[in-house]
Amino acid sequence: METQSERKVVLSAIQPTGTPTLGNYLGALKNWKEMAKDYDCFYAVADLHSITVRPEPAQLRRRTLEMYALLLAIGLDPEKNTVFVQSHVNAHAQLAWVLNCYTQFGEAARMTQFKDKSEKHPENVNVGLFAYPTLMAADILLYQAHYVPIGADQKQHLEITRDIAERFNGLYGETFRLPEPFIGKAGARVMSLQEPTKKMSKSDTNVKAFISVLDDKDTIVRKIKSAVTDSEARVYYAEGKDGVNNLMGIYACCTGKTFDEIEKDFAGKGYGDFKAAVAEAVVEELAPVKETFDRLIADKAYLNDCMAKGAEQAARVANKTLRKVMRKVGFYQL
């Protein structure tokens, strides 16, 4: 068995902006759990990121605790991996400021997420929303991560992270490891159930557009039943059949079946039968997560204890990178 220090490092984070969706689960969290077996993993609740949309303070607090409990509920072991809350480790905000000064305005302005989110919240296009990629770069680079398991929507952010790291290394010598994205095949991009050309998002204001990992059976059945499809009533994967393609992707991810197998299984059947099968597969996939979550969320003392340990472990690694950066940039050392 490899020792802790020989293992490759993985970093990933999720914002406490709502209960994770099936998209977050299939696109990211399921991979987190897989990778936890073979890598030295750092998993964060990205609360600093989430204030770009100005949540209610009480809601942010509650969602942070819930997201943390959920990470343990999906099967992450806080003893074997570092599971922590981003704002508990000061180095994230500190490195982000430094990286802001090594990132060009034009680079940040090209980010699709910035464009999407500023359209969604035209009344609050704040500098934090714009600088989001440099904070994300700091999250990753602090841990010298080899891999970052993400959904396809975050690929651009990983590219800018690599660009910033390369630029810094070029100026000051090897400081940061260049991280590679790790994008699982199926589930990399789960689409909205109501507008299947857009990705499923936990911050969507239309709750019918997403399935939350804590939705109960009836809710899941209802949401999938009302998912937008098309008028053809035939189950097969094809360009333009966004709604059906999405349901097929979800079904494939939950059952391990290929698209060919799914087409055969549902030949001659309509969307009603197909949707019922998809709902059943999703319920089966999510039921154990919900059960464990309900148990953990009732034990705040245990969660606080895990959080404190996680923050301490994360800070130890992060501060090492931060000190190196501060020295190289020329900050006066005491």
Active site residues: 117, 199, 202
Distance CA 201, CA 307 (A): 26
Which CB sits closer to ligand ATP, 66 or 153?
153
Distance CA 81, CA 71 (A): 11
Write out the DSSP string of 100-148. Answer: HTTS-HHHHHT-HHHHHHHHH-GGG--HHHHHHHHHHHHHHHTTT-SEE
Helices then strands, counting H and E runs in the chain, come out as: 14, 5
Cβ at position 14, least distance to ligand ATP in Å: 4
247, 224 contact by CB (below 8 A): yes
Cβ at position 188, least distance to ligand ATP in Å: 6
Contact residues: ligand ATP, CB under 6 A: 14-15, 17, 21, 23-24, 27-28, 150-151, 153-154, 188-190, 199-203
Cβ at position 31, least distance to ligand ATP in Å: 9
Residue closest to ligand ATP (Cβ): 27
Beta strands in 33-72 (DSSP E): 40-45
Which CB sits closer to ligand ATP, 202 or 290?
202
Cβ at position 154, least distance to ligand ATP in Å: 4
Structure tokens at 24: 């977050």
Residues in a beta bridge with 148: 181
Which CB sits closer to ligand ATP, 14 or 70?
14
Which CB sits closer to ligand ATP, 157 or 325?
157
3-state helix, strand, coil in the chain (%, to 5): 60, 10, 35
